[in-house]
Amino acid sequence: MKILVTGGAGYIGSHTFVELVREGHEPVIFDNFSNASREILPRLEQLTGKTPVMIEGDIRDTVLLSRTLSQQGAEAVIHFAGAKAVGESMKDPLKYYSNNVTGTQSLLEAMQENGVRKIVFSSSATVYGDPEQLPIPETHPLSTANTYGETKLVIENMLRAVSSSGPGWSVILLRYFNPVGAHETGLIGESPDGIPNNLMPYICQVAVGRRDKLQVYGNDYDTPDGTGVRDYIHVKDLAAGHVAAINRIEAPQCTAINLGTGRGTSVLEMVAAFSEAAGKPIPYEIMGRREGDVASCYADPGLAREYLGWEARFGIGEMCRDAWNWQSRNPMGYE
C-alpha cells in the first residue's frame, strides 16, 4: 500500500519506515526536520536498499499536503508528526496546540480533499493519566495532567468525530507505552536534542560518557523497589505494530489499541539491565520525585493480540542491547 508517513524521519517513524518497506509497502516520508536529522535518509537507504521518497514540509501546510497525497497516490496515512516533550508543552502550550492539534486538522482536511480516509495515529499512554487500574485496558477513563497529553486527547476526539461524521473513515489510535531501543544494526536510533527527558536516552548518554550520572526521580513510590514502573517496548515491536494496524485499516472503524508488552520494569531494574548489556556500571543518585510522574503504568495488551494479531517479541535485555549498540556506534546521535 502507498502510505504517507508524517514525521517519518523521526525516531519511531524511521523504524516504522524500514518495517513498512520490508513488508512490501511503499511509504512516503513527510517531515519538516524540526526534530530529525537529514542524516537519516542515507541510513534508511542503506537499510532498505531503496532511496526513500521524502517530501520536506510542515503538516500545517494543507496545500502542500494535499498536493503530496494526490501526486504520490497515497491510500493511507500513518501520522507521527508532532512535538512530544511534556515539560516544554507546559512552557510553550501554543507550540503544542499549533503543531499537534492544528497540524492534525490540516492533515485531515488534506485527506478529506483527496478522498484518503485511512489513518493510523500515534497516541500515547499519557491519555490514561494516573492509572486507576493496572494493567491498563483501552476502556480505562481518559484524563491528562499536561498540555502534551491534552493535545493527544483533543486529537483522539477529533479523529473520533471525523470518523463518525460519514462513511468510509477508518481510524486506528495506537496508544504507545514507553518506546525504547534501536534497530539492531545500530544505523538508526533515538537522538534527542539537548538533555534527554526520558530514562533510556539519559542512561545511554551516561554509559557513553556524555553525562556523569543518572538522577533517579524518587524511590518512595508504592512499587517493589520504590522507583517508577513503566511498560518499555522495543521500537522494532512498535514498528511491527504499525504494519499490523495497516493490515487492519481497510474496515471502517475508530479503534483505540494499546501497544505495550504488559510487563512493568522499575527504574532500578532498567539500570541493572543496561549495566549488564553495556558491561559497565551506570552511576546514579536518588532524587526527589519528578512532578507529574505516576508510580506505575503498564498496558493490558490483549486487544492488540486479538484484533491486530500482534504482540511484543523483545524483552528488556534486547531493548538495552540495541539501545547501547546504537549509542556506542553513534555517541553524538546523528550530529
State which amino acid sits at residue 85: A
Under the binding rule (CB under 6 A), the answer on residue 12 touching ligand NAD is yes
Contacting ligand NAD (CB under 6 A), which of 21, 23, 26, 33?
33
Which of 25, 54, 68, 84 is close enough to bind ligand NAD by CB under 6 A? 84
Residue among 10 and 57 whose Cβ is closer to ligand UD1? 10
State the nearest-atom distance from the C-beta of 73 to ligand NAD, in Å.
Answer: 20
Q: Pinpoint the alpha helices (H) of 215-266.
A: 235-246
Q: Residue 254 in contact with residue 159, Cβ under 8 Å?
A: yes
Site string for ligand NAD, 141-160 (x = CB under 6 A): --------------------
Closest CA to 168 of 65, 253, 69: 253
Dihedral sign for Cα atoms in the order 247, 37, 48, 66: positive
Q: Chain-centre distance of CA 39, in angstroms?
A: 20
Catalytic one among 128, 148, 221, 232?
A: 148
> Does residue 215 sit in helix, strand or coil?
strand
User: Rounded to the nearest whole angstrom, what is the least distance from the CB of residue 103 to ligand NAD in the complex?
Assistant: 5
Question: CA 103, 294, 300: angle at the middle one, nearest 5?
Answer: 75
User: Among ligand NAD, ligand UD1, none, what binds residue 11 when CB lies within 5 to 8 Å by partner kind?
Assistant: ligand NAD
Residues in the chain: 335
Name the binder of 267 from ligand NAD, ligand UD1, none, CB < 5-8 A by kind: ligand UD1
Which one of residues 21, 26, 34, 215 is an interface residue with ligand NAD (CB under 6 A)? 34
Cell numbers linked to 310? 500482534
Single out the segment in contact with ligand NAD by CB under 6 A; choices: 62-70, 75-83, 260-268, 320-328. 75-83
User: Between β-strands 265-266 and 229-230, what pairing exists: parallel, antiparallel or unpaired?
Assistant: antiparallel
Least separation in angstroms between CB 230 and ligand UD1: 5
Q: Please, are residues 290 and 220 in contact by the beta-carbon 8 Å criterion? A: no
Work out whether 322 is an interface residue with ligand NAD (CB under 6 A). Answer: no
Q: Name the residues that contact ligand UD1, by CB under 6 A.
A: 86, 124-126, 148-149, 178, 197-199, 202, 214-217, 228, 230, 267, 290, 292-293
- Does residue 135 have a cis peptide bond before it, meaning omega lies within 30 degrees of 0? yes
Catalytic site residue 148? yes
Task: Provide the annotated active-site residues.
Answer: 148
